[in-house]
Structure 1
Amino acid sequence: MDESVRGDGFVLTVVGWSAEYSLALERLDAHGAKLLSVVPAGEDLPERALIWLPFSAVSKFISLFDQFATEVTPSGSPKNAALVANISELRLSLLHELRQPAGLFLG
């Protein structure tokens, strides 16, 4: 494939557990990931964020979840809990998710 038309990453949709718990947005905009937009929680819908994840940052992003599952901090909490604990779902974004008129677009 011609290098000028190849993408160097993909967009992930990050969905929170419930309307009661916010995503750690500042932590989603780190480690090579770029926060693109946020749809605030509604009465019955959790907060949802879109992030751009370059292929070069995928292994670091995955390692944050692996550390949450396998490591603890000196205080005994799972490592990266502030980022991971309120996420219920990660999925590749669909075209309709990229058009979020009710969302807050960043950048």
Structure 2
Amino acid sequence: MAQLLGGLDTAREAVAAEREAIPAEDRGHGFAIHVEAGSGLDLKRDSLNNSGLSLLSVRGATEERPEEAVVWVPDDSLPKLAKKIRDFTTDTPAGKPRNAPLVANMERIERALLEHLWTEPEPFPASDQVRWWELWFDPRTAEGSNSQDLWMG
């Protein structure tokens, strides 16, 4: 679990550093993380879209890579997520790890990048040239926040 908590903390620190350069009124109120499943395992999508978290995208596993998801973590949900990961090392009265549906199949957490949102079958375009981008946000995901919140972290 230390690897998951470390990745979450590293993502939070990177966002915090970048927020300093943004005027307070324009700062986002959360950030996106990239969650990778363990080899041959599936992420529990319902658990990634619960307790304040919003599941933004999922890419199914291939022979080359495991299943992965991008999840929006509002600032006020970050401590809850970290606690759920820490609590995984504690058993329930039934003898099962706490928060197993959320944590058990996670292999890695890191800050989400644009590449992680890429869902097309062809590879993500090279970044060595200027390119026009069009982003589509699911209105249910962005409801209650402006779209800038999703990426200005």
TM-score (norm 2): 0.62
- Tell me how far apart the structure 1 counterparts of residues 97 and 110 of structure 2 sit (CA, whole Å): 23
* Cα distance in 1 for residues equivalent to 2:24 and 2:41: 43
Residue 81 of structure 1, CA deviation: 1.3
- Give the AA of the match of 2:70: L
Alignment equivalent of 1:39, drawn from 43, 59, 63: 59
What is the Cα deviation at residue 97 of structure 1? 1.7
Give the structure 1 partner of residue 119 of structure 2: 100
- What's 1:67 paired with? 87
Match of 1:21 among 37, 41, 54: 41
Q: Among all aligned residue pairs of Structure 1 and Structure 2, give the percentage whose two residues are the same amino acid.
A: 36
User: 1:13 is paired with a residue of what secondary structure?
Assistant: strand
Q: Which runs of 4+ in 1 moved over 4 A?
A: none
Question: How many angstroms apart in 2 are the aligned matches of 1:34 and 1:49?
Answer: 11
Corresponding residue number in structure 2 for 1:87: 106
- In structure 2, the partner of 1:10 is 31
1:16: Cα distance to partner? 0.3
Matched letter for residue 86 of structure 2: D
Query: Aligned AA for 2:102?
Result: L
Q: Tell me the CA shift for residue 24 of structure 1.
A: 0.6
Structure 1 residue 56 and structure 2 residue 83: aligned? no
Contiguous gaps of at least 5 residues in structure 2: 1-22, 122-136, 141-153
SS in 2 for 1:12: strand
Q: Which runs of 5+ in 1 are unaligned?
A: none
Alpha-carbon distance in structure 2 between the residues aligned to 1:24 and 1:97: 18
Q: Secondary structure at the match of 1:15?
A: strand
Aligned length: 102
SS of equivalent residue, structure 2 residue 88: helix
The answer to which structure has the higher helix fraction is: 2
AA of the residue aligned to 2:109: L
